[in-house]
Structure 1
Amino acid sequence: MDEFLIKIKNKFRNNDDLFLQEEQILDVSVIFIGFNTLIDLTKTKRTLHKHIANAISSKKTIGELLNELGEVKEEDMTEAISSIMKGKLLIVIKDQHKYVILEPVPKLLSRAIEKPTNENVLQGPLSSFNEDIETNIGLIRKQINSSKIRAEFFSVGPEQKTKLSLLYFDGQVDKKLVEKVKLLLEKNQDRELNNLQDLTEVLGFSGWSVITKFNVTELPSETVPYLRKGRIVLLVDRFPFALIIPCFLWDMFTLENDRNFPIPLMTSIRTVRVIGILITLFLPALYVALVAVNPEVLRLELALTIAQSREAIPYPALVEIILMLIIMELIIEATVRLPSTIGPTITMVGGIILGQAVVEAKLVSTLLIIILAATTIANSTLVGIQNFLAVRFLKYLMVILASIYGVLGILGGMVLISAYLASIETFGISYLHLNYEKEGTKYG
């Protein structure tokens, strides 16, 4: 093989979406080089065949034809790699040390550039992943023009093979971490892969962990910064989102889109998210603790106001808050599952009519309705659906501990949650790690 071709293959040695195909143009052997995730090769060949047919009828030479297709260049490795990364088709003329950069028929990398359905974007790209894995890789390559991005494919499943792609940034990622993930994927190729629980088992994670081991996003613009920070991105065919590992606690509060704002505003936004998780975890528990166990902590005026609001309530504060939290969970789940035309109606019925009715019927206190609304709103400030659900689950633990031990139970719950978070590891990397992007090569 020509030395130029060997250098290109070595440069992209871990990219399974790179193709090198030998063809004949006017009886001259050439090599087509490019990424099949960026180029529609079938349509490009059809266009080339039309040019070749015209050249034959016009009795043009190979040199004249190639000059029509693009600019003929001497072998320049830097320019060739840059062109391939931009989605161009390289036509290398064998034994002549020349190549042509051709503008191919590009692969459609979006479904009419749809907006993300689960993540809202402010002042950022609105394209989102879809169900085709090659399209998703192409979207990532559009976002980051670098030859250091590596994409490796795997097939997982006993009969129905599911295509899975492993992406990482060569030079930033920890090689040991990549090898661990590749080893697990190769070792568990016979397992079913139909959902994230199956993928969790394939990677050797516990399926009973409340905190997810993946950071899930449907935005290419959020995925690329994780690659630059040394994370690994997993793309699964038919899954319209990217899975980033390892996942850390700080990912619950940060978005790359935040950097489109000035630093004071970015810091304020992230502080609001931290306050949101604190309100979600502690406000319902604090209500139960101060009403049922430790009312002496309150000022007299506040204690009298709360007592007045709970006058004629027939059951304890724990039953009262658990009942309303469950009703709120039902409203949220119904809003998610119902069509968008009906969802707002359910929200209005559940939030306004039902809330007012239960207060007037003396089933719950007015203060609890305020706490419930604040908790639900605060929970929605967190980044990521998986994190949103995990915190919703953990607040019940805090409420139960507060009903038994009061304020001391809240403190105990904080210690338990902190200890649990500290115990979570992903391939030997702590969930509480903060500076992975700066020291990524030192861990794993």
Structure 2
Amino acid sequence: MNPLIKEITAKFLNNDDFFLQQDYFMNNSVILMGFNTLVDLTESREAMHMYIEKAISVNITEEELLSLFGEVKESDINVLISSILQGKLIIFFAKYNKFVVSQPIPKLLNRFTEPPTNENVLQGPLSSFVEDIEQNIGIVRKQVSTDQLFVKSVYVGKDEKKKISLLYCENYVQMELVNNIVRQLEMNLDKEVHNLQNLSKTMGFSAWESFSKFKTTELPLEAAQCLRMGKVVLFVDRLPLALILPSLLWDMFAMENDRNYPLPLMLSVRFLRIIGVLMTLIVPALYVALVAVNPEVLRIELALAVSQSRDSVPYPALVEILLILVILELIVEASVRLPKSIGPTITMVGGIILGQAIVAAKLVSNLILIILAATTIANSTVVGFQNSLSIRLFKYLIVVLAAMYGVLGILAGLVLVCAYLASLNTFGVPYIQINVAKDRSNHG
């Protein structure tokens, strides 16, 4: 037996789903190797025998014979093992002492295209990405049917090879951006990628940045529009999301699905999202500032109403609002984690009962519940769940500054947030830039 086959057998000796079977192709003794959990061996063998019967009448050379079944590989144990782990079928021709990596008929391990679960679509296509990277690339090609769409794939990871594919439209994208991304990936081919934090480290991003450098979407329509805007789309195998670089500030206010509305409605919806972000950042801090530091700003009637609502509340305004903010964060997190059948009911009932009880106990005022309920609703208008989390984080910074310096603290907090956003960049593209397309025309 070939020594490489012995090494492969020894490597997968403890795997019950590994097969090593002998067969005959055109009177040539061959050995088939792979995982029966990834390869449909019966269907693959039948398909190859049918293909051989059609080609048997033609006199072919040794190279042509081997190329019928796949790609001839050098005798490299690491390449062969990696191919087996990726679900390929290894064919060893004893007569020629060569290995061929063949693409077999795979086991059906992928789900069909389904409506998106994390992003709601109104008046738009309901397809979403799945875990299979090849299928995702095909979905994008159906959306962007142009010869200017290019795909480049690399394998990263030392112990577990993970395929990452990069898509871009050459007539829109700045090639410097593409080259920077490819160079960064090729510099870190030995790093493992199991999640977005691993991928961020591979791309050279800081792990402590509050705003993600990736715009994530499960909608092919969004990915296609980003390609037309000069951005780059990344797919990671077994991750049912498109990762879009660079992520820009305007991405949290605009969706491609908005363009299915008349122009006045589209502009109104996007304006509402901007108002929602400003309300999320300012309203809780404004309550603290006007109650605890600058009550003289209020009209006397409003000041008396606020004072009456806080009658018998034992805590200062900062402690009061932080208490309710934390409870609301717990309710939102619970609504995400609970099963869909009971999640909305429990969070709604729990929020109503808890809100009434905490007001009746004089722990907080009635006014603050109204303010924070409106803030939570406003925060949900932002495009992308990850963006809403980032906005919620900065809300606490501005609340603390408002408790210390009042209205001036709110202004200082907004300046700090704007300065932080202005400092962000992705491969040289500023976060606050509107457009990255090569021709700088209005694509979004």
Please give the TM-score of this superposition, normalised by the length of structure 1.
0.75
Q: Once the two structures are superposed, what CA deviation does each residue of 1:139-176 show, in whole Å capped at 9, x if it has no partner?
A: 11111111111111111111111111011011211111
SS at match of 2:155: strand
| Corresponding residue of 1:206 | 206
Flag the 1:224–1:44 CA change in 2: closer, same or farther, 3 A.
farther
Aligned mates of 2:199, 2:53 — CA distance in 1: 50
- Counterparts of residues 297-316 of structure 1 (less than 5 Å): 297-316=297-316
- RMSD (Å) for aligned C-alpha atoms: 2.6
Q: CA deviation at 1:351?
A: 1.8
Q: CA deviation at 1:54?
A: 9.7
Q: Work out whether residues 214 and 244 of structure 1, in 8 Å CA contact, stay in contact via their aligned partners in 2.
A: yes
Unmatched tracts of structure 1, length 5 or more: 1-41, 60-104
Q: Work out whether residues 279 and 375 of structure 1, in 8 Å CA contact, stay in contact via their aligned partners in 2.
A: yes
Q: CA deviation at 1:345?
A: 2.5
1:237 lines up with 2:230 in the alignment: no
Q: Work out whether residues 113 and 129 of structure 2, in 8 Å CA contact, stay in contact via their aligned partners in 1.
A: no
Flag the 1:44–1:436 CA change in 2: closer, same or farther, 3 A.
farther
| Corresponding residue of 1:249 | 249
SS at match of 1:123: coil
Aligned mates of 1:132, 1:336 — CA distance in 2: 25
Aligned mates of 2:257, 2:45 — CA distance in 1: 39
Unmatched tracts of structure 2, length 5 or more: 1-41, 58-104
Aligned mates of 2:158, 2:47 — CA distance in 1: 39
| Corresponding residue of 2:123 | 123
Q: Which amino acid aligns with 1:229?
A: M
1:287 lines up with 2:287 in the alignment: yes
Aligned mates of 1:350, 1:208 — CA distance in 2: 33
- Range moving further from structure 2, 141-150 or 300-309: 141-150
SS at match of 1:436: coil
Q: CA deviation at 1:110?
A: 8.1
Q: Work out whether residues 213 and 247 of structure 1, in 8 Å CA contact, stay in contact via their aligned partners in 2.
A: yes
Q: Once the two structures are superposed, what CA deviation does each residue of 1:26-46 show, in whole Å capped at 9, x if it has no partner?
A: xxxxxxxxxxxxxxxx98997
Aligned mates of 1:351, 1:210 — CA distance in 2: 28
Aligned mates of 2:430, 2:238 — CA distance in 1: 30
Q: Work out whether residues 218 and 240 of structure 2, in 8 Å CA contact, stay in contact via their aligned partners in 1.
A: yes
| Corresponding residue of 2:403 | 403
1:430 lines up with 2:430 in the alignment: yes
Please give the TM-score of this superposition, normalised by the length of structure 2.
0.75
Aligned mates of 2:131, 2:112 — CA distance in 1: 14
Q: CA deviation at 1:109?
A: 12
SS at match of 1:437: coil
Q: Once the two structures are superposed, what CA deviation does each residue of 1:24-72 show, in whole Å capped at 9, x if it has no partner?
A: xxxxxxxxxxxxxxxxxx989978987997999xx9xxxxxxxxxxxxx
Aligned mates of 2:283, 2:261 — CA distance in 1: 30
Q: Work out whether residues 173 and 438 of structure 2, in 8 Å CA contact, stay in contact via their aligned partners in 1.
A: no
Q: Once the two structures are superposed, what CA deviation does each residue of 1:82-102 show, in whole Å capped at 9, x if it has no partner?
A: xxxxxxxxxxxxxxxxxxxxx
Q: Which amino acid aligns with 1:205?
A: F
1:344 lines up with 2:344 in the alignment: yes
| Corresponding residue of 1:370 | 370
Q: Which amino acid aligns with 2:171?
A: G
Q: Which amino acid aligns with 2:180?
A: K
- Counterparts of residues 120-199 of structure 1 (less than 5 Å): 120-199=120-199
Q: Work out whether residues 174 and 438 of structure 2, in 8 Å CA contact, stay in contact via their aligned partners in 1.
A: no
Flag the 1:330–1:48 CA change in 2: closer, same or farther, 3 A.
same
Flag the 1:317–1:195 CA change in 2: closer, same or farther, 3 A.
same
| Corresponding residue of 1:93 | none
Q: Which amino acid aligns with 1:311?
A: D
